[in-house]
């Protein structure tokens, strides 16, 4: 099972993205656990996930999040603004899977 964490200011706006990603995972036959949290929960939750995707509204915190996640060897990236705005769960899911794969291969 792949475990993906999404993070935004309060964890609210990404909850809709999570629903779309979960639907895409089912359609693609991917066993995935996807959750959304606010920024204050990130440091305690990242250890349990394979990667974290940040909402575009907090992309300015990417370096801080990568530093924290680096302690656990977990990759962090920012969700594409257009995909986020369009709630393109499939594309965001595939982006997360690619991030995990490239990190494991590194």
CA pair distance 26, 87, nearest whole angstrom:
16
pLDDT band per the 50, 70, 90 thresholds, residue 39: very high
Whether the pLDDT of residue 106 is over 70: the answer is: no
CA pair distance 42, 9, nearest whole angstrom:
10
Instruction: Give the CA radius of gyration of the chain.
Output: 12
Residue 8 falls in the annotated catalytic set = yes
Name the residue with tokens 């977990």.
74
The domains found in the chain, sorted by start residue, are 2-105 (3.40.50.2300)
Per-residue confidence (pLDDT) for residue 12, from 0 to 100 = 72
- Summarize pLDDT for 47-71 with one digit per residue, the tens: 999 999 999 999 999 999 999 999 9
Query: 58: which residues sit within 8 A by CB, 6+ positions away?
Result: 7, 8, 9, 39
pLDDT band per the 50, 70, 90 thresholds, residue 10: confident
pLDDT above 90 covers a percentage of the chain that reads 91
Among candidate residues 8, 51, 52, 68, the one labeled active-site is 8
């Amino acid at each position: 099972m792949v475990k993906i964490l999404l993070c935004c200011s309060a964890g609210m706006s990404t909850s809709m993205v999570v629903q779309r990603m979960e639907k895409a995972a089912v359609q693609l036959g991917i066993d995935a656990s996807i959750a959304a949290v606010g920024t204050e929960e990130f440091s305690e939750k990242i250890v349990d996930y394979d990667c974290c995707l940040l909402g575009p509204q907090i992309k300015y915190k990417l370096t801080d999040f990568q530093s924290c996640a680096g302690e656990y060897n977990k990759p962090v990236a920012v969700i594409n603004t257009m995909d986020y705005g369009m709630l393109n769960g499939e594309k965001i899911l595939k982006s997360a899977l690619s991030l995990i794969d490239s990190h494991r291969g590194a």
